[in-house]
Structure 1
Amino acid sequence: MKNSEGIGERIRRLRRAAGMSQADLAGDAMSTSYISLLEAGKRVPSTDVLAQLARRLGCDPSDLTGIPPGSVVTEFRFELSYAEMALNNGDPEASLNAYRDVQKKVSLDDQPEIWYKAEHGMARSLEHGGRLEEAAVRLERLLTASLDHPDLVPRLPTVIALCRCYRELGDLSRAIEVAEATLAEWEDMRLAPTVVGVELLSTLVGVYMERGDLHRAAYLANQAITQAAVVTDSRALGAAYWNASVVMHRNGNTADALTLIEKALAIYAEGDDQRALARLRNAYAMVLLHSDTAQPEVAREVLDQSLASLREVGSNVDIAYCLSALAQVELRLGNAANAIDHANRALELLGSDHRLQSARNHLVLAAAQLALGDKESARDAYERGALMLEASEASRQAAFAWAELAEILKLCGEDERAVWAYRQSVRCMGHRETFLTNQKLTSPT
């Protein structure tokens, strides 16, 4: 038995050894195309399907899973493995149900390791499914448990996931608080760099960029690259390059941003994580779009490729991010109607929890509506986006949104509201100009 084989490869090998075609193995209960997807690793078989396949192949289900039969813990290991595969294949709902089923079968007192693994899996499934509030609640409980049971609940992966959730929810302060506290503990212990430590740094880089603190983001990005080189893990180095490129991009240094993100693409292209590669292509397309020599046509080709991949292995949230990027590209190409379609579809998929990304979609929507001459809709979308960004503490982004709204209000002849919007912009940038000191920063009626 080859331990490195996946379930799909084992099914293919045993089917061929039995002299069966895919149609033979499918029988009446399954389709040939489904067997093909299983063997390609694009679908995850349930325990019932595995039992049926094992019967037809004349083997034990353990021959397909690669997990030896025996103890109850071994059975749970397989079920946890199935749940993880479902999550990696872009099916967070199936993953959530699988992890929940495992947790129902065990007690925290008798099998705490299995229970906590299922709990962490459910939190990640909720996150990938866009149910961020629920995910954050579970992760906060796990973070508390990690202090009392560090042997059962891994601290860093929990913090990283929690930090991601709070970033998307727009609670940047809590994200930074949790991550910085853990980072300080890590540094006080003077531990050697690790892959998960690099991931924590990379995650924190993203949060500081959202808040507009590009100096701290740049410092942490360089630290992540240095540590990734020490641990000699290509994936960690690729993630570090990825985040550093975004920092360079936000700072207006598109040449270095392109160099770094192309290094990241080269690393990820050698791996088998198609979902991560597609998400990286989204970032690459944005750098191409906003570079000094913008390439919107090339960016659209990259995003089309990314979207096709994410429809196979990504979640609805992954697809929404890609559509958001496509909306920006279509706007740059002068296709405002297409931009509106993409932005609206992205908003539908994001739901109510992904506040930061939803805010950015409202701004793209506003720009597209303005391009079509719909000033009233553009004004409303700009104001909504600006308010959402400000509520999320993304002050720098909010400042630009308020400034854009002010321009729209001027075009609409609403001079008093335009001055108000300009003042909001100045306030978000942290300035307190003399002429604003005694002004009441409320919306004029």
Structure 2
Amino acid sequence: MLGQPHFGRRLKRLRLERGLSQASLVGDGMSTGYLSRLESGERPPTERAVAYLARRLGVDPGALTGPADERSLTGVLAAVSSAPPGADDTAALSRAVAEDTGEDPAARWQALWLLSRAAGRDGDHERERVLLRELTDLADTLGAAELRARSRVRYARCTRALGDLCAAEPAAVAALSIARAEQLSVSDTLPALMVLISIETELGRLETAGGHVEELERDLVPRAAPAQAAEGLWTAAMVSSRQGDHAAARSRLDRALGLLRGEDDLALWTRLRAAATAAALQMSPPQVAAADRWLSEAASVLDLVGTPLQRQELHALQAHLAFHQGRFEDARTLSRALLQDEELRLSYRDRVRLKVLDGRLEILAGRVDEGIAALRRLGRQAAESHHLDLAAHVWQSLATALADVRA
């Protein structure tokens, strides 16, 4: 016989599918209190109760007690969890979520978590945001502090990637508040603080971000696992770079990269090298030699096993590196190929930076008016969307490009 709580969930689903209240289902042969305890999983079903309820529902007793349907959300989740590495089960999981009757909110939360992670990995942030909205609401219903914090961290990261800092900031603040109030572990508190620091930096609040970096390095990084400690140091390096302290930024990047070996976590090892490349190229002056070395290490992995999004990010970094190495035609070829790709998956920030590069290349190629117009448009758009750090980068790039032309 199907055990609890699965029996109760199936019983409730069959009752609701027939539009029956508890009272109308039990009739005179069973109390509503007993039925309620059966549906909640508090009481195991007896054979007599199963036979009676099956007659009232108009089904065979096996419909109540048979094995769990492997096509149910729980069954599909089990198949996905046990699938070999590299298997893509998102289509089956999406169908199961669409057909789910909501009997097991925890299973639905797990399914939405897996689907949103897959969407983010593919660069489909609009789809990811839809899933994360439901995920966040479901976490609140379940009431688990860890789920509430984690869903908000993911939502903050997703909306930041879309360029919606007005939605990202309150989600990050809420995640950190939950982590602190519930005294969650470092593994939950650190991601919440990191995403908040990144958002504050993009909003131009460098003093506030710097204060949070002090807390991060003092209280969290020393107690974090190597992978999270490395991400924390990389986040701190970004703030140092924006503050103009490039020596501190380089020191933090070197420490972060030294914490991981490829065999520890190849995906994170690669991602940190790509992130360090971007940071090195944004320093003043750009650390071109270090960027070249780190990007070569990342490319050796991403060219083989990278996702479409990761390969686009790699090509964007290669375009920026080519520009700083004076290989302007290579930079133009790479940037134009990406910007003309109908399936461009880059985040809002990476897209803008790539368009800025394209504008600078226009100016250097002699199409000064076109390049200036493009950069001015990007600067206004960044400022209007509250990306003050990005707007500053646009205007600085315009000034540098004009100075290069004059020189």
Question: Structure 2 length as normaliser, TM-score?
Answer: 0.72
The within-5 A match list for 1:197-212 is: 197-212=189-204
Choose which of 96, 112, 122 in structure 1 pairs with 2:90.
96
Deviations 1:66-98 (A, max 9, x none): xxxx976985454232679449xxxxxx35324
SS at match of 2:239: helix
Deviations 1:153-212 (A, max 9, x none): 8112211111111111111121111111232233334x1542121111112111112112
Distance 1:175 1:131, change over 3 A: same
**Aligned-pair distance for 1:303?**
1.2
Structure 2 distance, partners of 1:316, 1:165, is: 17
Choose which of 351, 359, 367 in structure 1 pairs with 2:352.
359
1:79 counterpart residue number: 79
Q: In the alignment, does 2:96 pair up with 1:125?
A: no
1:375 counterpart residue number: 368
Distance 1:411 1:198, change over 3 A: closer
Distance 1:230 1:262, change over 3 A: closer
Distance 1:145 1:257, change over 3 A: same
Structure 2 distance, partners of 1:387, 1:251, is: 22
Deviations 1:202-241 (A, max 9, x none): 1211111211211222222232233434644222211111
Choose which of 320, 332, 342 in structure 1 pairs with 2:334.
342
Structure 1 distance, partners of 2:215, 2:403, is: 45
**Aligned-pair distance for 1:308?**
3.1
SS at match of 2:260: helix
How many residue pairs end up in the alignment?
A: 336
Distance 1:182 1:367, change over 3 A: same
Q: Is the 8 A contact 1:116 1:153 kept in 2?
A: no
Q: Is the 8 A contact 1:320 1:345 kept in 2?
A: no
Structure 1 distance, partners of 2:390, 2:186, is: 33
RMSD: 3.2
Distance 1:229 1:300, change over 3 A: closer
1:20 counterpart residue number: none
Choose which of 152, 169, 179 in structure 2 pairs with 1:176.
169
Q: Which amino acid aligns with 1:337?
A: E
Choose which of 229, 247, 253 in structure 1 pairs with 2:245.
253
Distance 1:263 1:76, change over 3 A: same
The within-5 A match list for 1:256-267 is: 256-267=248-259
Q: Is the 8 A contact 1:359 1:386 kept in 2?
A: no
Distance 1:311 1:409, change over 3 A: closer
Q: Which amino acid aligns with 2:274?
A: N
Deviations 1:125-175 (A, max 9, x none): 112212212211221121122111124981122111111111111111211
SS at match of 1:272: coil
Deviations 1:252-275 (A, max 9, x none): 212211211111112222653222
Distance 1:202 1:350, change over 3 A: farther
The within-5 A match list for 1:7-156 is: 76-81=76-81, 85-86=85-86, 94=88, 96-103=90-97, 106-109=100-103, 111-151=104-144, 154-156=147-149
Structure 1 distance, partners of 2:220, 2:263, is: 17
**Aligned-pair distance for 1:399?**
3.7
Q: Is the 8 A contact 1:214 1:247 kept in 2?
A: yes
Distance 1:411 1:201, change over 3 A: closer
Distance 1:183 1:240, change over 3 A: same
Q: Is the 8 A contact 2:277 2:295 kept in 1?
A: yes
Identify unmatched segments of 5+ residues in structure 2.
Answer: 1-66
Distance 1:188 1:150, change over 3 A: closer
Whose Rg is larger? Answer: 2
Distance 1:95 1:194, change over 3 A: farther
Which is worse superposed, 398-407 or 280-289?
398-407
Q: Which amino acid aligns with 1:275?
A: A
Structure 2 distance, partners of 1:353, 1:285, is: 16
Question: Structure 1 length as normaliser, TM-score?
Answer: 0.67
Q: In the alignment, does 2:311 pair up with 1:319?
A: yes
Q: Which amino acid aligns with 2:216?
A: A
Q: In the alignment, does 2:273 pair up with 1:281?
A: yes
Kindly, what percent of the aligned residue pairs are identical? 20
Identify unmatched segments of 5+ residues in structure 1.
Answer: 1-69, 88-93, 414-445
Q: Which amino acid aligns with 1:81?
A: S
**Aligned-pair distance for 1:396?**
3.3
